[in-house]
Amino acid sequence: MNPLLRWFHSLGSPPTFYRFATRWIPWTGFAALVLGAIGLYFGLFRAPADYLQGESFRIIYLHVPSAWMSLFIYVLMAIYGAIALIWRIKLCEILMMAAAPIGAMFTAVTLITGMLWGKPTWGTYWEWDARMTSELVLLFLYFGVLGLANAYDDLRQGARAAAVLALVGVVNVPIIHFSVQWWNTLHQGESVQIIGKSTIHASMLWPLLLVAAASKFYFLFALLQRARTLLLEQERGKSWARELALGAR
């Protein structure tokens, strides 16, 4: 077997994953903290004010990274769901379930920061604009996944049902991303390009990228922590989990 595959496979066993998570949780949390602190410091205090929007544009450092994360986490959740359904890997069910509330949280932050930003720039908190609407719908999708998972008495059955929904819901992600092009709307189009030239000034860009990286690490941190708890809950009958609980006491 290919060594990468073998590593992945061994990680799939609950006790191994538990140890892996325990090892990496502090590091990811630390990275998130440091990167976030630097990025936010430069973004909020050092970057020049926008010539059009003034100081209110600084909300971008919260809004855009969480907007990216809200989409990214959904896609990731769907991938975990697909793996869970096809290969019946229990760990992926758990990762999926662990990712959902974090994604919902980022979606909520996007919506709230967007609304706060909308008031000074567009003069209204809410507008039935394409991107806002579809982001709201993304929040509903997250709620649907969470609600469906909780509606089943059995944890694993709930996870499988939620996985189907997560997969089916993936169609919404491109819609949210491209909505600014498909509809003529208030919300602005893409200004950060990975390939090609960004339309945003470098002194504004690099703190943004730092915060974005921090949000990724924060996600990893929260994901590992939640997954660890879920894993213990699901495996509470198994011997390794019992030993661990005894050892902790």
Cβ contact 110:66 at 8 Å: yes
Closest approach, Cβ 148 to ligand HEM, in A, equals: 23
Phi, psi of 54 (to 5 degrees): 70, -145
Binding residues (CB under 8 A) for another protein: these are: 85, 124, 127-130, 133-134, 137-138, 140-141, 143-144, 147-148, 151-152, 154, 157, 160-161, 164-165, 167-169, 171-172, 175, 182-183
Measured CA to CA in angstroms, residue 167 lies from 59, 76, 97, 108 at distances of: 32, 10, 13, 21
Closest approach, Cβ 237 to ligand HEM, in A, equals: 41
CA pair distance 142, 135, nearest whole angstrom = 11
Query: Does residue 114 belong to the site contacting ligand HEM (CB under 6 A)?
Result: yes
Measured CA to CA in angstroms, residue 30 lies from 47, 172, 191, 205 at distances of: 24, 33, 30, 23
Cβ neighbours for 86, distance < 8 A, ≥ 6 positions apart: none
69: number of Cβ within 10 Å: 23
- Footprint of ligand HEM on 6-65 (CB under 6 A): 60, 63-64
Query: Does residue 243 belong to the site contacting ligand HEM (CB under 6 A)?
Result: no
Query: Does residue 68 belong to the site contacting ligand HEM (CB under 6 A)?
Result: yes
CA pair distance 129, 185, nearest whole angstrom = 6
Query: Does residue 118 belong to the site contacting ligand HEM (CB under 6 A)?
Result: yes
- Footprint of ligand HEM on 122-141 (CB under 6 A): 131-132, 135
Closest approach, Cβ 68 to another protein, in A, equals: 19
CB under 5 to 8 A by kind: which of another protein, ligand HEM, none does 118 bind?
A: ligand HEM
Nearer to ligand HEM, 114 or 169 (CB): 114
Q: Which residues pair with 54 in a beta bridge?
A: 50
Contact residues: ligand HEM, CB under 6 A:
60, 63-64, 67-68, 71, 110-111, 114-115, 117-118, 121, 131-132, 135, 176-177, 187-188, 190-192
